[in-house]
Structure 1
Amino acid sequence: MDWKEKYQNWLNYSELDESLKQDLQKHKDDEAKLEDAFYTSLEFGTAGMRGIIGAGTNRMNIYTVRQATEGLAMFIENQGEKLKDRGVAIAYDSRHMSKEFAVEAALTLAEHGIKAYVFEELRPTPELSFAVRHLKAAAGIMITASHNPPEYNGYKVYGADGGQLPPKEADELTTYVRSVEDILSIKAMDKEKALAEGLLKFIGKEVDKSYLEAVKTVTIDGDLTDRQGRELKIVFTPLHGTGQMLGQKALEQIGFKNVYFVEEQSKPDPDFTTVKSPNPEDPEAFELAIEKGTEVDADVLIATDPDADRLGVAVRTAKGHYEVLTGNQIAALMTEYIFKALSTKETLPKNSVMLKSIVSSNLPTAIGDKYGVKTIDVLTGFKFIAEKIKAFEADHSNVFMYGFEESYGYLIQPFVRDKDAIQALVMVAEMTAYFKEQGYSLFDTIHELYHEYGHYKEKTISVKMDGMEGTEKINEIMQTFRSKTPDKFGDIQVVKMEDFKTQTRQTGDTTETIDLPPANVLKYTLADSSWIAVRPSGTEPKIKFYLSACDDSGVAVTEKMEAFEEDIRSRVDF
């Protein structure tokens, strides 16, 4: 069917949800919008799906949620009754339609006789990951669009280990989801019937209690937090999302009493009224936190995104104002503190491993080397970190100590198998207290690390390309880079090219195989150890360019970064 036929099918469906019917009527004269809503099915990829809320096969609505859940039900059923009996944990964030989508997913599972454990109120993504393991569930569903604008929502699937599905299982699930063609005919059980038959159970406080008990293990030096708990001044904002309740309790239980909240952002708000984007990567998201920090003379400002899996930090500079750190800078500070504290206590295992993505900074690698911690690079996506943790536990080859991605995602203890901003919140508070006691701010400390290891500077250029034309443009850009390997960026020679899609690494005349799953990523290493990478986003209509420069001075590294960015912009029209 072409998009017009699909549109007519929805328009003629007598039982169409009333709000979606109104959405179709609203756009009945806007052919471009209708085409975009129906020209394709909302892509269900390795990270689930994400899209604009509304009517259409290319939108987030109860029917596309049912389709995804119908595929998940078939995926679970294919693995046998034992797995089916374990049920599915479901959580949701503060976005429009999140609770409705969560319940709709549960009632679709109920039609297959699969029990759903649904949180009674909004909860963070990391607690969903924890709940899957805690309840020994077969799978998990998180309804969230992370830090995207208010008009978006999304659907992420987790495996029985609490991690997002690895490639093989994700591909199998995707096949099931795509096999469901008539999405308007998918059945969802009546809610009262599902409750009566025990196929729908609401959960909350008991899981919260267990999760918070596990969060206590993140703390390395309890004596330090006791000493500094009333001295350190923290400003915390959940940016209208899910982080407030657990974040507040997590800080309180380890002794941090001097915590100030950005009241305007402490309550859930699906429109994220006070920010342009609820993204802790964006310095503008810290505007109210900076006002509060200035008022109370805070040592550190911390923000979590709507589903509380990502965390951003702003620190006070020598001049007294606040500066928002990059995800790589936060990771470097955590790396230094965690390994230093464990080494001081003589509790750092000899076979310790840090895991990070291939597009993250090499500064933490250098820090890890100093403390004898091996760094392993994995593909972008925290599921690859979770997969490695699972392998370490199976063969006892290594001990996971810390994992991160440059995109503001961190994991300290593996009772969660995804990014965990609540764990990171606790760790940022503890490390700030440690460096403060030593007479340093976090701003001082990152510059001390540059002095010791060299200056590192990273930047991500993210270009949004919506619709059919955007998809085609992204594919063209990747094909151009793949077919015409640049010989230099700026004035610095490319010495190594890695194509993770073909799993090949080219260094001069030598070709090697990359021992990682295939992924549509290109990475170029330069003669001075700087690097450039390019990849389409797995969850959004974006193409991303990752730039990393290193040099002996801040001035030199800034000049390199400017040259790299100018080079990228000369190659790509955006």
Structure 2
Amino acid sequence: MNEIAEQTYNTWLEQDNLPSNILNELQNMKNDPKEIEDAFATHLSFGTAGMRGLIGAGTNRMNIYTVRQAAEGLARFMDTLDDATKNQGVAISFDSRYFSSEFAHESARVLGHHGIPTYVFDDMRPTPELSFAVRHLHTYAGIMITASHNPKEYNGFKLYGPDGGQMPPKESDLITTYINKANNLFDIRVSDEHTLRMDNIMHIIGEDVDIPYLEGLKNVTINNELVKTTGKDLKFVYTPLHGTGKVIARRALNEVGFTDYEVVAEQAIADPEFPTTPHPNPEFPEAFNLAMELGQKTKADILIATDPDSDRLGAAVRQPDNTYKLLSGNQIASVLLNYILNAKKQSNTLPTNGAIVKSIVSTELADAIAKSYNVETKSVLTGFKFIAQSIQEFEDQKDHTFLFGFEESFGYLINPFVRDKDAIQAVLLLAEVAAYYKDQGKTLYDGVQEMYQKYGYFDEKTISKVLTGLDGKQKIQSIMQNFRDHPITELNGHQVVRVADYAKQTLTFDDGHTESLTLPTADVLKYWLDDDTWVAIRPSGTEPKIKFYVGTKSDSQKSVQEKLVAYENAIADLVNPLL
């Protein structure tokens, strides 16, 4: 067994007053060296998006001690700021997962011990509302306790900056330094919650933030007349997948004017077990099983699902045979974008300096749509914090007007009063877009096909390889290094014409010359081939996965799908020997 893991494990076992769940888990792993090693040989990594991991005992697990350590790092960093900035405080929210409320309150107790004001939601709220709360309350930072769409065994700690976006890398790196210095997890001081309340340091928030957030949501829809007419007859099913969407999405829909919808009752229960869908992820077809059953009974035009913290949205569209066709994140983003730009053009509200922002692994269909409206496309690294940074740059420099931001992984932002992906906004606009096509006797899927006919046929796929534990982390690093040591020059019979290595900050062309990249450093490789295909490779920042992305383009649905399959097979031939 790893010596450090064994020593750390024994230190934990010797502690007094351990919570019963932690003590029981420590005792249960006593005869499992591999489990002890995985839980104690390393620490949960804290990156620019915070940290995420399995719930349990250990330094590599989510528990009150690792959460306190993260909050202590933020507190020590805020202690270095001037009093006025420090006293802006921290907004805190949480989702429906196990220990989410407890982790939120433990964070407030740590911050309160440093005299830092906190504003804690009275119950679970969506991640985008936490982003809104930071901006609305003018706090210095925000904490969201969530593991987003991960299975029930996970939880996480997401950190937000003053603009409501995830904490920028510079500040996040400094906070990480302070977290690492707080290495005695059992020596981190917390204050009594009742005392903090009496001393006016810890505050409870709720409806006072809900109401202004809902007011902002009313401005997401574009054609209010359409919503009042066709929108009231649009039939759809909504499911919050046992999460925070149950709190606010229905209020938003009703206030905007969408009333003819059904909610999946079994999934409108905030249950940390996620009993109806072990993977509460709207990317997965099985997350829609109950919604499809209800949709077929009610003849719903569309099905809409939000993940447990309501930052991601998935959708399925009813077909003529009464089955449902799932849309990809890229398709949803493209149909939303196309509608936004067309609606604004028709109403003469499309700005001359409009811009959209998307991640470098998202569909190039969006680029083609934006170009046709003379709207600029800016591509950024994966992570919505980079989209939030671009929005702030647009506002500071006054050179562009933000119109839409998205990532292929089912994350979208329409209006920037929030600075993270916002599935509640997306629910409202997607319903409006569905009403727009219904008014023409069409479906959302018809709208997607119209885009393909106009701009060309695009298809994309993300291939994820799960590699868990310490061995998995090392394997992922080894695979990335292998691709750097043995550059890909040909794939599926086509030549690589340029390669971007975001770790080395170089763009290399097939004739040998190189250019410097301007995006931040990241462990990502992206290849462009001579047939309008692109491929990207990157480790996940939040899960034990390495991801392979491929995007293709062709002149028909059949040929683009065949092309995608051929590239999937070629990637498998490259990767499988390395696993």
| TM-score by shorter chain over 0.5 | yes
Pick one of 219, 222, 229 that aligns with 2:221. Answer: 219
Cα distance, 1:245 vs. partner? Answer: 2.3
Q: Distance in 2 between matches of 1:534 and 1:307?
A: 27
Where does residue 183 of structure 2 map in the other structure?
A: 181
Deviates more, 1:119-128 or 1:194-203: 194-203
Q: Distance in 1 between matches of 2:7 and 2:503?
A: 36
Q: Does 1:451 align with 2:474?
A: no
Cα distance, 1:276 vs. partner? Answer: 2.5
Where does residue 34 of structure 1 map in the other structure?
A: 36
Instruction: Give the counterpart letter for 2:18 in structure 1.
Output: L
Where does residue 319 of structure 1 map in the other structure?
A: 321
CA offsets per residue over residues 310-365 of structure 1, 9 Å max, x none?
A: 00010112433101110000011001100000000010000000000000000011
Deviates more, 1:197-206 or 1:411-420: 197-206
> Is the partner of 2:549 in helix, strand or coil?
strand
Structure 2 contact 357–405 (Cα < 8 Å) conserved: yes
> Is the partner of 2:495 in helix, strand or coil?
strand
Pick one of 497, 514, 520 that aligns with 1:495. Answer: 497
Cα distance, 1:133 vs. partner? Answer: 0.5
Where does residue 506 of structure 1 map in the other structure?
A: 508
Structure 2 contact 380–387 (Cα < 8 Å) conserved: yes
Instruction: Output the aligned Cα RMSD.
Output: 0.9
Where does residue 21 of structure 2 map in the other structure?
A: 19
Cα distance, 1:565 vs. partner? Answer: 1.0
Structure 1 contact 46–538 (Cα < 8 Å) conserved: no
> Is the partner of 2:219 in helix, strand or coil?
helix
Cα distance, 1:427 vs. partner? Answer: 0.5
> Is the partner of 1:246 in helix, strand or coil?
helix
Instruction: Give the counterpart letter for 2:187 in structure 1.
Output: S
Cα distance, 1:27 vs. partner? Answer: 1.7
> Is the partner of 2:13 in helix, strand or coil?
helix
Q: Does 1:114 align with 2:113?
A: no
Where does residue 212 of structure 2 map in the other structure?
A: 210
Q: Does 1:96 align with 2:90?
A: no
Structure 1: gaps of 5 or more residues: none
Q: Distance in 2 between matches of 1:486 and 1:86?
A: 50
Where does residue 554 of structure 1 map in the other structure?
A: 557
Where does residue 381 of structure 2 map in the other structure?
A: 379
Pick one of 275, 278, 282 that aligns with 1:276. Answer: 278
Q: Distance in 2 between matches of 1:166 and 1:438?
A: 44
Q: Distance in 2 between matches of 1:104 and 1:325?
A: 39
Q: Does 1:539 align with 2:542?
A: yes
Alignment of 1:392-411 (within 5 A): 392-411=394-413
Q: Distance in 2 between matches of 1:571 and 1:229?
A: 48
CA offsets per residue over residues 118-159 of structure 1, 9 Å max, x none?
A: 001000000000000000001000000001010100000000
Where does residue 425 of structure 1 map in the other structure?
A: 427
Deviates more, 1:95-104 or 1:319-328: 319-328
Q: Distance in 1 between matches of 2:172 and 2:571?
A: 33
Q: Distance in 1 between matches of 2:379 and 2:416?
A: 17
Instruction: Give the counterpart letter for 1:511 in structure 2.
Output: T
> Is the partner of 1:230 in helix, strand or coil?
helix
Where does residue 76 of structure 2 map in the other structure?
A: 74
Q: Distance in 2 between matches of 1:269 and 1:490?
A: 45
Pick one of 260, 263, 279 that aligns with 2:262. Answer: 260
Q: Distance in 1 between matches of 2:442 and 2:231?
A: 17
Cα distance, 1:75 vs. partner? Answer: 1.5
Where does residue 351 of structure 1 map in the other structure?
A: 353
Where does residue 145 of structure 1 map in the other structure?
A: 147
CA offsets per residue over residues 206-236 of structure 1, 9 Å max, x none?
A: 1000100000110111101011232100100
Where does residue 530 of structure 1 map in the other structure?
A: 533
Instruction: Give the counterpart letter for 1:449 in structure 2.
Output: M
Q: Distance in 1 between matches of 2:27 and 2:4?
A: 19
Cα distance, 1:202 vs. partner? Answer: 0.8
TM-score for both structures, normalised by structure 1 = 0.99
TM-score for both structures, normalised by structure 2 = 0.98
Structure 2 contact 152–278 (Cα < 8 Å) conserved: no
Q: Distance in 1 between matches of 2:232 and 2:344?
A: 24
**Percent of paired sites with the same residue:** 52
Cα distance, 1:369 vs. partner? Answer: 0.8
Q: Distance in 2 between matches of 1:300 and 1:209?
A: 27
Where does residue 47 of structure 1 map in the other structure?
A: 49
Q: Distance in 2 between matches of 1:500 and 1:173?
A: 24
Structure 1 contact 461–544 (Cα < 8 Å) conserved: yes
CA offsets per residue over residues 19-50 of structure 1, 9 Å max, x none?
A: 21111112221121111110111111111000
Q: Distance in 2 between matches of 1:555 and 1:282?
A: 23
Where does residue 193 of structure 1 map in the other structure?
A: 195
Alignment of 1:557-568 (within 5 A): 557-568=560-571
CA offsets per residue over residues 151-171 of structure 1, 9 Å max, x none?
A: 100000000110001222221
Instruction: Give the counterpart letter for 2:526 in structure 1.
Output: K
Q: Distance in 1 between matches of 2:247 and 2:109?
A: 27
Q: Distance in 2 between matches of 1:439 and 1:364?
A: 25
